Amino acid sequence: MPTSPVKTRIPLTSFGHLITEVKRQLFGIEAPASAELTGWRKYFNSYTLQGRRNCVLATYGILVVSAAVYLVHRQNKKESSTSTA
């Protein structure tokens, strides 16, 4: 398995961890502690597993709601066209 060019044992398959490690080593950028995050950033961030999970769940939720609205709108459109004919 290939490893990153940065001095770490993180495999290239975990791209998010690789980017975090490169930021830390090359640029000195550290991830904020969870206590430093406030407001909506506390629940939707790319630093913690809970934040990443919440982003995924929000994305899936938006997709499901959008699909449901589309299907209801399409069904109402079909009913209104048959009732006027």
Query: How confident is the model over 49-82, as pLDDT tens digits?
Result: 888 899 999 999 999 999 999 999 998 888 877 7
Instruction: Provide CB contacts within 8 A for 8, sequence distance 6+.
Output: 21, 25
| Farthest CA pair distance, the chain | 71
83: tokens are 């009732």
Q: What pTM does this model have?
A: 0.54
The answer to whether residues 12 and 4 touch, using CB atoms and an 8 Å cutoff, is yes
Across 8-22, 32-46, 50-64, 68-82, which has the greatest mean pLDDT? 50-64
The answer to whether residues 56 and 62 touch, using CB atoms and an 8 Å cutoff, is no
